[in-house]
A and B are shown apart, each in its own frame.
Chain A
Amino acid sequence: MIKQSLQRNWKSLVVFVPYFWLLIFFLAPFFIVLKISLSEATIASPPFLPMTEWVDEGVMNIKLVFDNFLYLWEDDLYFNTYLNSIKISSISTIFCLLIGYPMAYAIVRADETQKNILLMMIILPFWTSFLLRVYAWMGLLADQGTINDLLIALGIIDQPIRLLYTQFAVYVGIVYTYLPFMILPLYANMEKLDWELLEAAADLGAKPAVTFITVTLPMTIPGVIAGGLLVFIPATGEYVIPDMLGGGNVLMIGRILYNEFNSNIDWPVASAVAIALLLVLVLPMMLYQHVQAKESEAK
């Protein structure tokens, strides 16, 4: 009986299970965040007032409070933090691209054995703990850390320079952890390219630099966009790196959200911060989705 009905309805089951899961645990939570961002803070558990109250029989009076968003807008701290997050993640993305593009290119052009080894070396850090890789930089950048020791030993500096807990440390951390996310999509894109086109361009008289700008770069744009978004989007909301490497000096929106939530216990403001962050990222996310969809159609 069960087997029969399974055989008949398995297709709807296949769709239903993941669909239902994502609706409950992915989509619905956003509406709750939205709802809470529009309610008032209170000292209670949970620390917010319900926004719907039953006034008369069946007449629902929705008390929308835009105070939280107004608060974000008026307080320079939040606004500047948003700008700072976008600035840090944009610059980091550019650095990832500058380092990652030639690396991906070198891997694609390497011979089969080298290619496999290089690819594995790119993927290996990806499998090891992200937290510990960030932690490793604390040891390198600290006042008594490896880099300062080395510079002093070489006689370049007398006094340790401050590297840890600076904006610089945050850039290093982000570029370091997100570099594989840039290289892998670029590699996937470049691997599918028809390299004879480059030979054709050279044959038609284009110098290497011209070939690169007129042929290679345009062909790899989808990879650049995918890699760039894979770095930019999560880096904007990054929490661990600014917290561990930036100390109290670098404000990023992920940290504000986390602190607002855990230290200040102001859930409505935390939710408003989350919604505002989402609004900032919704365009890049849709662009990423679009690129992915096009990529899978091309297959």
Chain B
Amino acid sequence: MNNGKRSRFLFTVTCFGMAFLYIPMIMLIVYSFNYSKIVPVWGGFSTRWYTVLFESEVVWKSVILSLKVATVNAFFATIIGTLAGLALVRFGRFKGRTLFSGMITAPLVMPEVITGLSLLLMFITLKELFGWPDKRGFTTITIAHITFSMAFVAVIIQSRLAGMAQDLEEAAQDLGAKPFRVLTDITLPLLAPGMLAGWLLAFTMSLDDLIIASFVSGPGAVTLPMLIYSRVRVGLRPDINALATIIILVVATGVLIAAWIMFRQQKQRQLELQMSDED
């Protein structure tokens, strides 16, 4: 009896929570097909706002800038974050390790306004001292994004490495592989899924960032979130609903495909395991 009551309570809360998470997004999508210019007033089905969106050069420019930043950022953040994770988990104690691990965790929770402000002031100082970066835009946004997203990559890599038995690396050494060889033959291939996850996370975080980009960007460099923000902070805009719909669908498709692939692999493994036990 008690068990039934408890699970009914859990079920209700979960449904309520999921509805809370998803209804706003569903409404967002519904109103993107609204003919009316005033978002919450239904004026019949239409795809006119998608046309408006696709014809806007400003939107395209910001999409391209955002994708460029996200790609370059994800590439470097994955490399640097992986190195950081390796150093933290596999190198034992080294000089300044405490400071290092502190600098890795801090960006995870640092309010964006602080990170943004401090990076902007850093860029200005660097310019005064070295004359670089002479213009704020793509480069400064990318550097800023690498700085916070590498921390997230490092955390993913750290937990992967901690879960990965050190046995494998020792076995390779035992069979005659020098430490660098162990890294390239064993550690990195086994880290590949973690690095992919890190890459994806860094990519989306960069696409998602508004505040840090607003601080470190210069004239003319407008990322997609900056563009969206400048349009919606004054009120509702149907073309933004259309844009949101596209973004949500792209992300959802990506996540679903990834989940499906993972599910398939899991099934395959279970099947193979059963087969091997029958031998």
Residues of A bordering B, CB below 8 Å? 6-7, 10-11, 14-15, 17-19, 21-30, 32-33, 36, 46, 99-100, 102-103, 105-107, 109, 116, 118, 120-125, 127-133, 135-140, 142, 144-146, 149, 176, 179-180, 207-208, 229-230, 233-234, 236-240, 243-244, 254, 257-258, 261, 267, 270-271, 274, 277-278, 281, 284-285, 288-289, 292-293, 296, 299
Contacts and interface: CB of A to CB of B under 8 A. Distances in A.
A258 B109 contact: no
Given A26-B103, A118-B14, A236-B111, A131 B41 contact: no
Contact of A19 (B13, B96, B159, B163): B96
Interface stretch (B46-54, B56-64, B79-87, B271-279): B79-87
Given A139-B39, A208-B6, A131 B118 contact: no
Contacts of A131: 208, 210, 225, 228-229, 232
Nearest to B26: A136
A243 B41 CA distance: 24
Given A137-B24, A233-B111, A237-B112, A25 B119 contact: yes
A135 B244 contact: yes
Given A22-B147, A128-B252, A142-B236, 10 more contacts: A14-B91, A21-B150, A118-B18, A121-B18, A130-B208, A137-B24, A139-B241, A142-B39, A180-B21, A244-B232
A11 B13 contact: no
A33 B243 CA distance: 36
Given A127-B251, A208-B6, A299-B162, A132 B111 contact: no
Interface string B220-236: 00000100110011011
B91 A15 contact: yes
28 contacts: A11-B179, A15-B87, A15-B100, A21-B147, A22-B147, A25-B146, A27-B99, A29-B122, A102-B14, A116-B259, A121-B18, A125-B21, A127-B251, A128-B248, A128-B252, A132-B228, A136-B28, A139-B31, A144-B41, A146-B27, A180-B21, A229-B109, A236-B111, A254-B112, A257-B114, A274-B113, A277-B111, A296-B158
B228 A136 contact: no
B191 interface: no
A31 to B, nearest CB: 9
B45 interface: no
B141 interface: no
A114 to B, nearest CB: 10
B101 interface: yes
Contacts of A271: 117, 121
Interface in B174-206: 178-180, 183, 204
Contacts of A120: 255-256, 259
Contacts of A36: 121
Contacts of A129: 207-208, 225, 228, 244, 247
Contacts of A233: 109-111
B113 A258 contact: yes
Contact of A144 (B40, B105, B113, B119): B40
Given A123-B255, A129-B207, A234 B109 contact: yes
Residue from A23, A132, A145 having most chain B Cβ neighbours under 10 A? A132
A238 B111 contact: yes
What 3 pairs across the A-B complex have the smallest Cβ distances? Answer: A237-B111, A29-B118, A18-B84
B204 A19 contact: no
B210 to A, nearest CB: 6
B255 A124 contact: yes
Contacts of A27: 99, 103
Contact of A274 (B40, B117, B235): B117
Contact of B114 (A123, A180, A278): A278
A219 to B, nearest CB: 17
B39 A124 contact: no
Given A7-B178, A233-B109, A299-B162, A26 B147 contact: yes
B180 A240 contact: no
B13 A99 contact: yes
Contact of A14 (B3, B40, B83, B99): B83
A115 B2 CA distance: 22
Contact of B80 (A17, A109, A128, A135): A17
